């Protein structure tokens, strides 16, 4: 009876992947917590807080998503170099 070699793929949850998850999760929390921004003051160049806060999160969400994507690429490259993935 032959035994299959044990494949050590490392931990699935790594600190880098936790950071990626936080980058993707933060905009949802910020937008779903309506009580934190359901007000008109302070205004920014005449725009009520409610509106400019949401528009700010559009930009922040873009930056966080790009950051998560780059971190994911870095993570996958590292796993591939360790022999944990298929060669391209």
As a whole number, mean pLDDT of residues 43-48 equals 91
In a domain, residue 71? The reply is yes
As a whole number, mean pLDDT of residues 28-40 equals 90
In a domain, residue 88? The reply is no
In a domain, residue 65? The reply is yes
Q: Which domain holds residue 40?
A: 15-78
In a domain, residue 62? The reply is yes
Query: Number of structural domains, the chain?
Result: 1
Q: Model-level pTM greater than 0.85?
A: no
CA-to-CA dists, residue 70 to 28, 46, 62, 76, angstroms: 20, 36, 12, 10
Question: Cβ-count burial of 39 within 10 angstroms (0-12 exposed, 13-18 middle, 19+ buried)?
Answer: exposed
In a domain, residue 10? The reply is no
For residue 88, pLDDT over 80 is answered with: no
In a domain, residue 22? The reply is yes
Residue 4's pLDDT is what?
65
Percent above pLDDT 90 for the chain:
55
Percent above pLDDT 70 for the chain:
82
In a domain, residue 73? The reply is yes
């Amino acid at each position: 009876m032959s035994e299959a070699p044990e494949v050590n793929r490392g931990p699935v949850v790594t600190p880098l992947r936790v950071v990626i998850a936080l980058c993707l999760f933060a905009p949802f929390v910020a937008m779903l917590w309506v009580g934190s921004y359901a007000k008109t003051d302070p205004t920014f160049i005449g725009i009520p807080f409610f509106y400019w806060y949401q528009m700010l999160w559009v930009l922040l969400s873009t930056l966080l998503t790009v950051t998560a994507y780059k971190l994911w690429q870095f993570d996958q490259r590292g796993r591939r170099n360790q022999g944990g993935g298929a060669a391209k």
